[in-house]
Each structure stands twice: as structure tokens, then as C-alpha cells.
């Protein structure tokens, strides 16, 4: 059941990334591009969790993708406020 839910989270993050890319093409706002990149990182995080099952391995390496996603979001917000 957990793998199914992780798959749904992967799909939801991937769909959000595609929507942000679509909105970026329409508006050319760089913040949307940062959001798309962050959600791609989140989608890869959920995919890695589903494939490696970190609860059994005790690995924290897959969560670095989530950290990268949040850092991309922060960079996008700072970039938007800088201009």
C-alpha cells in the first residue's frame, strides 16, 4: 500500500511540475520555472523512496532530493524579490 501512495505522490508532483512549466511558457515568469524544477526534485524524491524503501534500509540519501527541492524554492523566491 505504501508503494502505491508513493507512486501517487510521484505522479502528483510530476503533474504539478508540468503545470508550472505550462504556466511558465505562457507568462515567462522565472519563479514558475523554479517551482517546476523544485517539483521535479520532489517527484524524483518520491520515486527514489518507492524504489529503495528507505524504512527498511535506514538511508537518508534519498531525502537530499527533497532538500534540493526546498533550496530551489528558496532560490526562486529570492530571485523574484531581488528583481
The residue with cell 507512486 is 7
pTM: 0.86
Axis-axis angle for helices 2-27, 30-52 (nearest 10): 160
The pLDDT assigned to 22 comes to 96
How confident is the model over 13-41, as pLDDT tens digits? 999 999 999 999 999 999 999 999 999 99
pLDDT > 90: percent of the chain: 64
- Grid cell listed for 2: 505504501
pLDDT band at 56; cut points 50, 70, 90: low
Amino acid at each position: 500500500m505504501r508503494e502505491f501512495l508513493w507512486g501517487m505522490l510521484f505522479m502528483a508532483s510530476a503533474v504539478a511540475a508540468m503545470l508550472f512549466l505550462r504556466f511558465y511558457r505562457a507568462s515567462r515568469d522565472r519563479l514558475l520555472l523554479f517551482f517546476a524544477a523544485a517539483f521535479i526534485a520532489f517527484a524524483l524524491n518520491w520515486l527514489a523512496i518507492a524504489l529503495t524503501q528507505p524504512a527498511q534500509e535506514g538511508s537518508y540519501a534519498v531525502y537530499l532530493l527533497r532538500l534540493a527541492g526546498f533550496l530551489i524554492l528558496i532560490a526562486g523566491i529570492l530571485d523574484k524579490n531581488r528583481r
